[in-house]
Amino acid sequence: MTPTSALQDAFGDSNHLIRGKRIRFYRTRAGLTLEQLGAKVGVGPSQLSLIENGRREPKLSLLEAIARELDTTLAALLSDEAPDRRSAFEIELERAQQGVHYTALGLPEIRNVRGLTDETLESLVGLHRELLRRARAASATPEEARRANTSIRHFMREKNNYLPEIETLATDLMASVGHVSGAVTHRTVAVLAESLGFTLIFVDDLPSNTRSITDLENGRIYLPPASIPGGHGLRALAFQAMAHRVLGHNPPASYAEFLEQRLQINYFASACLMPEAATATFLQNAKADRNLAIEDLRDAFGVTHEAAAHRFTNLATKHLDLQVHFYRADAHGALLRGYENNDLPYPVDASGSLEGQVVCRYWAGRTGFKRRNRTSEFYQYTDTPEGTYWETSQIGDLGNSGAFSITCGVKFDDAKWFRGRDTHVRTVSTCPDENCCRKPSDALAERWEGSAWPSARMHAHILSPLPTGSFPGVDDTEMYEFLSAHAPEL
């Protein structure tokens, strides 16, 4: 998984196309034919044609010679923007015709793009945009979302939940503003934003389905005036917004790519809030003292318990040589997200997805709800068909959104490194055997079977369509109206 978008993967290096268009633009402006320019720079007209069509990458020395003969600069030829509106449409059409959605139709490719009128070219580009939009909408089904989530989870398991490229980016950026350890201040976040060309602006009228909005034209990042419930706070939201630029993201071409980008920006934010070197040292010292605790990591870096737990899983295998698991579940046991590289037997559906599945009622992520004192971590050993696991769980509450649990754990032999290893709480789970906790006891079934008829609560997400659009879940009209209202006066 890399920050490169799926569109770039499909269309190849778009810079070649843009560079070729810019050479053609300046050649035409200079009134030179391919033959005339080729004679001046010492290459054949066929070679120049390949370069202008984006099918060959010129050497730097040739680009310098072309710039001199066309009375322009090397920087002008290397610019990543199309030289004019017509060229922008030509590039977009050429890219679209190479995309998987068009090639799958088996239709011929229009090769003489320059022979099209402006109106025809714009019409064709509009049709391709609509084709892509409909393809996105069709793919945003619950099944597609589950497959995408499962694919990402398997990928992160192979990586031990550790992404070194993003770690390096975050480390370098935070060092550039003087931060290496401890809680990140809001001032530090603002300074980093300024170094990337952004100003942070706090507003109270963000569209309901957005956490932040970035105005790329005016270099502004709009954030809510207060932390969203259960989130990392305004610092994380700002880091996530900046991450799209730092990681080179383009608008997602699919729901799967949207989920991939979301994972990357969340990872980047965590790596900024808890820099790798300082966090690893903190955890290694705690392990040496046999006193690892998620709550200590949380307090040392001033983040939420969930952020600390997830960050722990990023670094545990790389720096502590520990295989771990992490999950978030609601009060009914439904999994919202999860990770493991220690073989914890998560419940999964036929596609391998765990989101929405119900964890065993004997796991710590559910037994922890029975405690009256929920301010501290809860520790438990659980015997499962895959062995015995030690878990630490913290219960949180989002008010109207309900309670939830954040759970981290390791296999029995690794519990010796953690605070809470001396707990006497121990349960037995035989799930996925339905006799474990999914069936009522014989006595209860005999007493009530056939005599009960509940009116089941319909969860809102069951009937909610998956978000579609350029940025899934966001109403483009609402977003653009917001930007128009807040844009500076020209």
Given a contact cutoff of 8 angstroms between Cβ atoms, the answer to whether 186 and 234 are in contact is yes
Q: What is the pLDDT of residues 380-426, one digit of tens each?
A: 999 999 999 999 999 988 766 688 999 999 999 999 999 999 999 99
In tens, the pLDDT along 180-234 reads 889 999 999 999 999 999 999 999 999 888 889 999 889 999 999 865 443 457 8
Q: What value, to the nearest 5°, has the Cα angle with vertex 66 and ends 61 and 68?
A: 95
CA 480/CA 474 separation, integer angstroms: 11
Amino acid, single-letter form, for residue 291: N
Q: pLDDT, tens digit, for every residue of 260-301? A: 999 999 999 999 999 999 999 999 999 999 999 999 999 999
Could you tell me the two tokens for 129? 């945009």
pLDDT in tens, 126-155: 998 888 777 666 555 667 778 888 999 999
Mean pLDDT score of the chain, rounded to an integer? 86
Confidence class for position 62, pLDDT limits 50, 70, 90: very high
| Order of strands, sheet of 213-215, starting from the edge strand that comes earlier in the sequence | 199-202, 220-223, 213-215
pLDDT of residue 141: 65
CA–CA gap between residue 472 and residue 449 (Å, rounded): 44
DSSP label at 400?
A: G
pLDDT at site 462: 45
- Rounded to whole angstroms, the Cα distance separating 62 from 60 reads 5
pLDDT band at 345 (very low <50, low <70, confident <90, very high): very high
Question: Does a cis peptide bond (omega within 30 degrees of 0) precede residue 229?
Answer: no
> Can you list the positions of beta strands (E) in 272-386?
325-330, 335-340, 378-384
**Of the ranges 188-192, 358-362, 459-463, which one carries the lowest mean pLDDT score?**
459-463
Query: What's the pLDDT score for residue 470?
Result: 61
Mean pLDDT of 78-104: 83
How deeply is 253 buried, as exposed, middle or buried, from its count of CB atoms within 10 A (0-12, 13-18, 19+)?
buried
The pLDDT of residue 10? 31
CA distance 10 to 257: 13
Q: How far is CA 299 from CA 85, 161, 227, 274, 405, in A?
A: 53, 22, 17, 11, 18
Helix axes 164-176, 255-273, angle to 10 degrees: 50
Query: Residue 8 is inside which H or E element, if any?
Result: helix 6-11
Per DSSP, the three-state class of 143 is: helix
Quick count: other Cβ atoms within 10 Å of Cβ 77?
21
Mean pLDDT over residues 41-59, rounded?
Answer: 89
Q: Is the pLDDT of residue 465 over 60?
A: no
